[in-house]
Structure 1
Amino acid sequence: MSEEAKSTTAEAALGPPVAADGPDPKRWLALIVLLAATFMDLLDVNIVTVAIPSIQEDLGASSAAVQALNVGYTLSFAVTLITGGRLGDIFGRKRAFLAGVAGFVVASALCAFAPSAEVLVASRVLQGITAAIMVPQVLAIIYVTFPAEEIGRVVSLYASMIGLAIVAGPLLGGVLVSWDPGGLGWRTVFVVNLPFGAAALIAGAMWMRESKSSRATRLDLVGMVLVTTGLLLLLLPLLRGRELGWPAWSIASLMASVPVLVAFVYYERYKTAKDRSPLVVLSLFKIRTFGAGVGAQLLFSCIPAGFFLSWTLYLQGGLGWSALHTGLTAIPFSLGVPIAGNLAVRKLFPLYGRNCLFAGALLMMAGLLLYAWIADLAGESITSWHAVVPMLLLGSGMGMLLAPLTGLTLNNVEPREAGAASGLINAAGQLGAALGVAIIGAIFFSGLASHAGTEADRVLPSVPAVASQQAEIRTCAVDAHDQADLTAVPDTCRALGTDDPAQQEVIGNALADINSGTFTAAFSEALYWASAGLAAVICLLFLLPRQPRRLGVS
């Protein structure tokens, strides 16, 4: 067999068998709609962060309301994903997708014209729910629409859109808020969804083919309640626990999630035996590629989520960079994802199979370790140019790993279960992201508290003008970095005020040096731990087959 034939055969194993009536002639037009919806959803997740100061000023939003803007969206999205995926299998994936897009547009309009912080938070929750209906249909429709030999490159485009949206969010948000078209201010970050969503609705209705599970199924209401409750109990403390100091209710919630999710699994077994219409088809996890793939997705998702949290705080909170500057620094990452992803699914994965995934994880690990070393070496003089190679390695590694892994996870799933499988993959990604933010975030914030004193001891002896206040400045620095809200000013720092402008400037400069050094040390430490997490991902990848193959299909 020629190398080209081998490549085509292996690449075909990334997808389902070709439909008997042939592929949809409008499938590539439909793909544009699916990718646009993916971009719109992910853009909305990342773009809002940039607008938060303007929202606080305009609506008088409290710190709790600001936290609820992001947590409300993430939580409602994550807990509804599994149900959203199953809705497409039962009622039709095109119908569910268009309903999700329509709801997302309505929710975006409510956000854009919200008269108060409370209405904005409620609208963000609605956005999350409608996105959870829309997003799982994307992979499901791709899987049942495209023939096997095209699935790999399509999934690489999907993964590329994810990387692009992660970077474009803060970049576009900074441009819109600064440009302020129509005098709308922060509202433009939601208004931008309206034309995208309207176009997706019209184009989707014209170009998409309807599909749903061939097996007659009914909606599993009890399963919906159990999985939603279980995920809510698990994710809420992960998203809010650290900022609130891990109160008793957060620990109790984490513990309560275990029996609820166990009850969900047992109920799904009962539901399968009773009428074969469970919310989650547990037999999916008997498929080696799916079970191991979902586990790898969950663990892998921890890394980029935790990295971008600590990276953004390091650049903006530690070095004082703007959101626009930060977004521009991530351009090499956004270039690496699509280029490496396309190369992986078309050339590397068909030839080298699982080794391609190992190479992607090792590239990401190299990027993390290199960035940590450069940050320590360059200190506060670091520039965007220093980040080019590490970010390119991170993006390339993510493209080489994520694109083929997504296709391989769906490899042997029956088309009728595509929606449920897609919902599980997306839910695993969201749960992994929440775990990454919680674990790597905890490491980063713990590093801030532990390194502040060390940095103060390094900086202050070289500033003779503050010799008499060294103890007070050190206490201020430690207190400022050992608190949930890093923007708050501790009383020990307020006490440093002086009527002498020159002395005040010296103290301010010393604290700024301590701050940048503290953030740098904490960032580097978080990256070392993140690279250890990638080592765990590599171990899990050993559970995947060496080469992709389709079972039971001639």
Structure 2
Amino acid sequence: MTTVQTRPAPDNRRWKALAVCLTAGFISLLDTSIVNVALPSMEHGLAASEAAQSWVVSGYALAFGLVLVPAGRLGDMHGRRRAFLAGLAVFTLASAACGLAPSASWLVVFRLIQGAAAGMVAPQTSGLIQQMFQGAERAKAFGLLGSVIGISTAAGPLAGGLLIDAVGTDDGWRWVFFVNLPIGVAAFGAGLRLLPRFPASTGKREEFDLFGVLLLGSAVLALMLPLVQEQQWTGRLKWALLPVGALLLASFWAWERRQGRLGRAPLVDLELFSLRSFTFGSLISLTYFAGFTTVFFVYSLFLQNTVGYSALAAGVSVLPFAAASAVGAAVGGRLVTRHGRKLVVIGLTGVAVGLLGVIVAVQLVPLESVGWATAVPMVVGGIGSGLTVSPNTTLTLTRVPVQRAGAAGGVLQTGQRIGSAAGIAVVGAVYFAHAAAHGHSVTAIQLGLLTAVGFSLIALLLAVADLRERRLHPDAERAVGAVRRGAEGDGAEETVRPGA
């Protein structure tokens, strides 16, 4: 069997190559939240209807989530450098097209293309990290990736507010997309020079599981569509798509098992889920993102609709969370090799404590001072978030064979996108239901944040369960990983001590 070359690039190039990956990841994740504060500008300057505005936001998330797994598999098969650069080029061109869109309909179309391109880039980043780094350095690289996730998600409203405030309402929304152009072009040029030319990770020619793509894509679409359109699609009929999505997902699972039995290359290697670290990590990521991303959604609405903050002031108010998350992720990347899942437990506890602190501050402090009063609990929650996202990513992917790193990263991030959509639907429903009945009151944001805390506590229970299993059966995961690495010729080393 062919052994895959996974030797890291020279030090002075691989860290620069990582910077290219993180830059592309930053702008693609920034676009999930920066558009939210630009919607009034789109309505004013482009006469965009509510439905069009909704699709500008949700269409990006849908396309992003649909592409992740097949894009990761394509990177595994044909080389992650090629897939990364292709996705980044399309993303940059689509950003220009969004900024130049002559109508709301064209803007929606270009946003769908932009989201699909972002989904092409994302799994290549985690796959390239797996290839370029090993051991403690891999954990540090994932720590930097966690910093980017935290900063980009929280900084979106601030960046959008700054651009609209500087350019004006009529054309401010266009610059939300134009800002990607110089960054995308610079990252593409640097990527051509710096990204390593590893051979395709499968080490042999494999067929692409097109029917598996159709099944998984249909399942993800059926699961995400009613969630991202929860506010726009009235009535209960939309929820009928959820059992349809579950049925399609079960069909996809059965199909992939059949592919494996016949000796054909599946889209997703289901044996990945025999790795406890991957299964628990994916579930923790899904439930945590359901609470994490909704905080900025409902809190920004509360600050603007109830307190009377501008979009820029609302963005500044969540900045402590973003900055603290970056610090927490960097620290988590250094400590995860020693403390393992315990670090995720500590992080999730910090997130819950921080959000509860925000709820208390909103109750006790006059509304005009709420932005300052919530700064400290936001810092606590942000540090906890950094200690969660970065170490959990490292622990989830550490025993995944490098040959399947792209598809595994796609599965992990698809769970994040579905979790974000579900969280926004549930937390948004709680917030809007109370706001509709009683106005945009303090109670509405408290109930919304309590729901987000609930998601974080579910993730915490999963992390505690995984930690307990690791202590009771410290050698089980190592044995499974050793068998898989021996069978697939993967030379990836252990990153975290067994039982940590």
TM-score scaled by length of structure 2: 0.90
CA–CA distance in 1 between the matches of 2:351 and 2:79?
Answer: 38
Q: More deviation in 69-78 or 213-222? A: 213-222
Deviation at 1:242, TM superposition (A): 3.6
CA distance in 1, matches of 2:99, 2:338: 48
Give the equivalent residue in structure 2 for 1:330: 318
Asked if the contact 1:333–1:392 (Cα under 8 Å) also holds between the matched residues in 2, the reply is yes
**Counterpart contact for 2:37–2:157, Cα < 8 Å:** yes
Contact 1:111 1:120 in 2 (8 A): yes
Paired AA for residue 290 in structure 1: F
Unaligned runs of at least 5 residues, structure 2:
483-492, 495-500
User: Once the two structures are superposed, what CA deviation does each residue of 1:97-133 show, in whole Å capped at 9, x if it has no partner?
Assistant: 0000011011111111111111101000000111111
Distance in 2 of aligned mates of 1:534 and 1:187: 35
Give, in angstroms, the shift of residue 241 of structure 1. 2.6
Distance of 1:22 and 1:44 partners within structure 2: 31
Post-superposition offset of 1:382: 3.0
- Cα separation, 1, equivalents of 2:142 and 2:226: 33
Q: Give 2:282's match in structure 1, choosing from 274, 279, 294.
A: 294
- What amino acid sits opposite 1:218 in the alignment? E
In structure 2, C-alpha distance between the alignment counterparts of 1:155 and 1:311, rounded to whole Å: 28
Label 1:264 to 1:382 Cα distance change in 2 as closer, same or farther (>3 A): same
2:455 to 507, 525, 533: 533
C-alpha RMSD of matched pairs (Å): 2.1
**What SS does structure 1 have at the residue aligned with 2:342?**
helix
Q: What amino acid sits opposite 1:239 in the alignment?
A: V
Query: Can you list the C-alpha shifts for 1:435-474, whole angstroms capped at 9, x where unaligned?
Result: 1111111221222244x1xxxxxxxxxxxxxxxxxxxxxx
Aligned-partner Cα distance in 1 for 2:310–2:187: 32
Give the match for residue 222 of structure 2: 233
What is the one-letter code of the residue matched to 1:32?
A
Query: What is the Cα deviation at residue 19 of structure 1?
Result: 6.5
Tell me, yes or no, if the aligned pair for 1:306 and 1:439 is still in contact at 8 Å.
Answer: no
Q: Secondary structure at the match of 1:47?
A: coil
Does the aligned pair in 1 maintain the 2:153–2:293 contact within 8 Å? no
- Structure 1 gaps of 5+ residues are 1-17, 453-480, 482-514
Distance across 2 between alignment mates of 1:439 and 1:185: 30
Residue type at the aligned position of 1:206: R
Cα pair distance change 1:275/1:20, threshold 3 Å: closer
Code of the aligned partner of 1:317:
N
In the alignment, which residue of structure 2 is the partner of 1:397? 384
The within-5 A match list for 1:191-340 is: 191-211=178-198, 212-213=200-201, 214-248=203-237, 250-340=238-328
Q: TM-score, normalised by structure 1?
A: 0.81
SS state at 2:466 partner: coil
Query: Kindly tell me: are residues 379 and 442 of structure 1, through their superposed partners in 2, closer, same or farther at Cα, counting changes over 3 Å?
Result: farther
Amino acid of the structure 2 residue aligned with 1:207: L
* 1:100 to 2:97 alignment: no
Give the structure 2 partner of residue 52 of structure 1. 39
- Shift in Å at residue 397 of structure 1? 0.3
d(CA) in 1 for partners of 2:14 and 2:345?
Answer: 32
Letter in 1 for 2:447: E
Residue pairs, 1:12-91, within 5 angstroms: 21-25=7-11, 26-91=13-78
**1:229-249 superposed Cα distances (whole Å, 9 cap, x missing partner):** 11111110011134322342x
Q: How many residues align?
A: 470
TM-superposition CA deviations, 1:235-277 (whole Å, max 9, x none): 10011134322342x1221221121111111111111222431
Counterpart residue number, 1:364: 351
| AA of the residue aligned to 1:74 | A
- Whether contact under 8 Å (1:160, 1:341) holds in the other structure is yes
Of the three residues 524, 535, 540, the one matched with 2:446 is 524
In the alignment, what sits opposite 1:463? none
Alignment of structure 1 residues 539-550 onto 2, 5 Å: 539-541=461-463, 542-544=465-467, 545-546=470-471
Deviations 1:496-553 (A, max 9, x none): xxxxxxxxxxxxxxxxxxx4xx2x1111122223223222112111224358986436
Contact 1:24 1:145 in 2 (8 A): no
Question: Partner of 2:424 in structure 1?
Answer: 437
Within 2, Cα distance between the matches of 1:225 and 1:184? 38
For residues 207-229 of structure 1, the C-alpha deviation after alignment (integer angstroms, 9 at most, x for no partner) is 01133222432211101111111
CA contact (8 A) 1:27 1:145 kept: yes
